[in-house]
Chains A and B, each alone.
Chain A
Amino acid sequence: MTRSAPVTLLLVWAALAGITLLAWWIGAHHGSGPLRPQAAVALSAIAITIVKVRIIMREFMEVKHAPPLLKRITDAWLALFAVGMLAAYLI
């Protein structure tokens, strides 16, 4: 079979769609109070997004089968993005 089997790809899509629905629930304004920043919502949304992007890269973009250099470069960018977002949010 080819590198990414159809069943695996379907499961990856289902997982990503499920995580998106979770983000929908997180992002929805629960309750009737005024809108205010919620660090837990923001940081968990960013963390979930980083997980989603890594899944897309590893599975759909087949980085998991790529040479170690490409794995390191993509993970380094994700780490840089995570640190940048965390710093921007927490300043």
Chain B
Amino acid sequence: MSSNSLSSAPDDSAVRGASHTHPAPVIPGQPDMWVLVMIEALTFSAYFVVYTVWYRFKPAMFLQSQAQLDLRLGVVNTLIMLTSSWSIARCVGETRAGRHRAALTYLWITAGAGVLFSVLKVNEWRTMAGQGFGFETNLFFSFYYFLTGMHLLHVLVGLIMLGVVFHQLTNPARRSRELVETGATFWHMVDFLWVIIFTLLYVMR
């Protein structure tokens, strides 16, 4: 899957940095992941546009339903996702520098944030369902469960990818920088998709 091993080759980014020259443009991670990211972004964009069209058709129902959500919880979820994005970016930086122990620490922070986000989301679902707001309550809640459910699915896939990154970083024979960057790119996508979902479901009026 990867052809770039830190254990067998010097870190070219460190060489670039040491010479104080402007680094040559490179795609972080595998280009295939960027194709996936753009496909996912386009797919979710279609969901977001359809949601907004319905929001404009039934503003009263959407606003009343939206008011049932806890905006503070949405903010906390967003701060958790942003923190996880920051930590996986640090993980990439430490991996490039060859500091694998530090990279693992940041990887654990990312995974912990991902798990915390998932637990809070499932708990939010339970709370909403307990108050009688289910998938079939109305169109807003159908969108709410669909969008947050699709996103949580991506969080779980992201956590599996973080597991692959963990496997790379803990094994000196592997340590593929490219694979770490690829996993990070997916995780950042999970972050920016949530940033949009947060705005649509919790903020937009």
Contact = CB atoms under 8 A, between A and B. Distances in A.
Interface of A: 1-6, 9-10, 12-13, 16-17, 20-21, 23-24, 26-29, 35-38, 41-42, 45-46, 48-49, 52-53, 56-57, 59-62, 65-68, 70, 73-74, 77, 80-81, 84-85, 87-89, 91
Q: Is the interface of A mostly helix, strand, loop or mixed?
A: helix
Contacts of A36: 59, 63, 205
Given A45-B204, A88-B53, A91-B53, A66 B41 contact: no
Contacts of B45: 77, 80-81, 84
A78 to B, nearest CB: 9
Contacts of B86: 9-10, 12-13, 60
B71 A9 contact: no
Contact of A3 (B23, B55, B79, B185): B23
A27 B203 contact: yes
Contacts of B34: 70, 73
B176 interface: no
17 contacts: A3-B17, A3-B93, A4-B93, A9-B89, A13-B83, A20-B79, A35-B60, A35-B67, A38-B205, A49-B196, A53-B192, A65-B23, A67-B26, A67-B27, A77-B45, A80-B42, A88-B52
Contact of B203 (A13, A45, A60, A77): A45
B195 interface: yes
